[in-house]
Chain A
Amino acid sequence: GQQVMQIPQYQHVQEGEDFTTYCNSSTTLSNIQWYKQRPGGHPVFLIQLVKSGEVKKQKRLTFQFGEAKKNSSLHITATQTTDVGTYFCAGSGGYNKLIFGAGTRLAVHP
């Protein structure tokens, strides 16, 4: 069945450093979504990518969708303590449902 793999599992950075998490699918995705979950909270939608090669930015966050629509990345420039949390990608292939990756937990040290 469809699988969405996400790396790394954990990332510790100093405040001000950059951070990137990667998402890979075993199948071609029709779209990919990114969510952020703060400790003790619930996943909150960040963005959706649909087009091959698409790049979207939200302030310090840059999201990319691969040309083959099988991978995606989230890059945070100059991390802040408010960026702490777990970042999930969720992809949709041919099953008409979103499959979540395992998430990348980001810790930011001041």
Chain B
Amino acid sequence: DAGVIQSPRHEVTEMGQEVTLRCKPISGHDYLFWYRQTMMRGLELLIYFNNNVPIDDSGMPEDRFSAKMPNASFSTLKIQPSEPRDSAVYFCASSHGRLTKLFFGSGTQLSVL
């Protein structure tokens, strides 16, 4: 298995632009998580899905952030409009079963100028 695949690896954009991050979970995994990592706040859980349904989005910072999972093999995290404070590494992770080990993707390094 190729593992969790995220794209792009790096994204540099200007403030106000829309940013879309993509994730393909491991086949057969029924949970998908979006995390954000910064030096100041560490690893923060933004949202997670179970069987493509959003379960908990309490970590989504603002209405500017939205996430979708249209099918079992694809998820997106969108930021519109982006702001410099959104600069961070965004990780997608998937797991098989509830509260089991997470498999992380390589992350997307987002820089908003």
Contact = CB atoms under 8 A, between A and B. Distances in A.
Same complex for A and B? Answer yes
A97 B42 contact: no
A102 B38 CA distance: 10
A103 B42 contact: yes
B107 A97 contact: no
Contacts of A48: 100-101
Q: Secondary structure of the B side of the interface? A: strand
Interface in B89-113: 91, 93, 98-107
B43 interface: yes
B14 interface: no
Interface residues of B, number: 19
Interface stretch (A15-23, A38-46, A55-63): A38-46
Interface of A: 30-31, 33, 35, 41-45, 48, 88, 90, 92, 95-103
Contacts of B48: 97
A100 B42 contact: yes
A42 B43 contact: no
Contact of B99 (A31, A45, A88): A31
B104 A44 contact: yes
A21 B106 CA distance: 25
B62 to A, nearest CB: 18
A42 B91 contact: yes
Given A48-B100, A97-B56, 12 more contacts: A33-B101, A45-B102, A45-B103, A88-B43, A90-B102, A96-B55, A96-B98, A98-B99, A100-B35, A100-B43, A101-B42, A103-B42
9 contacts: A30-B99, A31-B99, A35-B102, A42-B104, A48-B100, A90-B102, A96-B56, A97-B48, A100-B35
B102 A92 contact: no
Nearest to A92: B99
A39 to B, nearest CB: 12
Contacts of A92: 99
Nearest to A6: B42
